[in-house]
Amino acid sequence: MSRVRPNIRVAHPVRLITDVRQRRETQLRYLRADASPNWSQRVHEKEGELMKIASRPAVTITATSTILEALELMSSRRIRGLVVVDSSGRLRGTLTATDVIDYLGGGRAFMVLRQRHKGDIYSALTHEYVENLMNPSPLYATTASKISEALKIMVINGVGFIPVVDRNLTPVGVVTEHDMVRHLGTSEVKIKVSSIMSTTIVAVFADCSLKRAAELMSIYGFRRLPVVSREDGSIVGILSALDFIGFFGSHEALKRASSYDIDDVLSTPVGAIMTKEVQTINQEADVYEAIQAMNAYGTNSLIVVNESGDATGLITERDVLVAIASQR
């Protein structure tokens, strides 16, 4: 089981910044030449109807809702994705925490905030609508889908959240990486954490701005960033996409800011909203122990440490899912 520790030293030669393309390539090595998954026996044994493991009901929002309403819903429910529906309740798109972070400072959509709202965060939250940020062509599964079919969508496309719809395209649930890992990892996996962890860590300094953190999340596609001390490089906390969402969705961002200028809001240091508890797992542990720890702490990643307690890498739910889905 993991330990909750502050000020974790980073072991040499762990790197704090990596190239996201390297991680994506490792996910695809488990596919056959025809791009079909080469499933492990565990997947065949755990095959079944998708609705048996899907999270229900789907948390939905309309395309005409404001971004603030979406943030409030995601923050209050502690979820990182919403299913967008039309007036008849049919699937129209998805909105994820990553989409919102891209808009609020991380990526290309930030230019919309700059140009359309002149950098006014209040206007950007209350006069921008979900339909303008959502993915209008989302990947999805149906109530008749098998678990392996949804797993294929997630592994090949590198997505961790897909809606499940009925024959009328009405969302009835969602399936996430967490649902898949919980289902497939119900017994000892017999894979060491050290064999699937990433030995490079994308991190942010505690005194860096939220703008910098949002940029890192958007560029590298990570939902959690270890926060390190600029003085000694030790890991002192974790900043998650939900921390970012909660900062805006709880209206804390507007309360802290001295103006409605987005630059003022995004100048908030990471250390002000990060989670100071850091969940860890020993590098020699079985992946099943990592799954248990993620479930216990409600996280999708763990800092991997050696016997001395120094960080040697990072393991995510996606790492676990790909490993156990392809285990031989």
User: Lowest-confidence range among 26-35, 86-95, 157-166?
Assistant: 26-35
Does this model's pTM top 0.85? My answer is yes
Res 36: pLDDT: 63
Task: Identify the pLDDT of residue 27.
Answer: 44
User: Average of pLDDT values for 122-129?
Assistant: 96
Q: Is residue 120 part of a domain?
A: yes
pLDDT above 70 as % of the chain: 89
pLDDT at 255: 87
CATH number at residue 133: 3.10.580.10
Domain presence at residue 204: yes
Domain count, the chain: 2
pLDDT 10s digits, 48-90: 899 999 999 999 999 999 999 999 999 999 999 999 999 999 9
Residue 22 has pLDDT above 50, yes or no: no
Residues 290 and 228 in one domain: yes
pLDDT score, position 322: 85
The answer on pLDDT for 25 being more than 60 is: no
pLDDT in tens, 160-180: 999 999 999 999 999 999 999
In a domain, 33, yes or no: no
pLDDT of residue 114: 95
Mean model confidence pLDDT for the chain: 88
Residue 5, domain member (yes or no):
no
Q: Which residue has the higher pLDDT, 162 or 31?
A: 162
At 43, the pLDDT band (50, 70, 90 cuts) reads confident
Domain for residue 3, yes or no?
A: no
Residues 140 and 45 placed together within one structural domain of the fold: yes
User: Is 324 or 203 the better-scoring residue by pLDDT?
Assistant: 203
In a domain, 62, yes or no: yes
Q: Are 73 and 81 in contact (CB under 8 A)?
A: no
d(CA 326, CA 328): 6
Q: Find the range with the poorest average confidence among 48-52, 117-121, 154-158.
A: 154-158
Domain of 216?
20-28+189-326
Per-residue pLDDT for 19 more than 60?
no
pLDDT band (50, 70, 90) for residue 259: confident
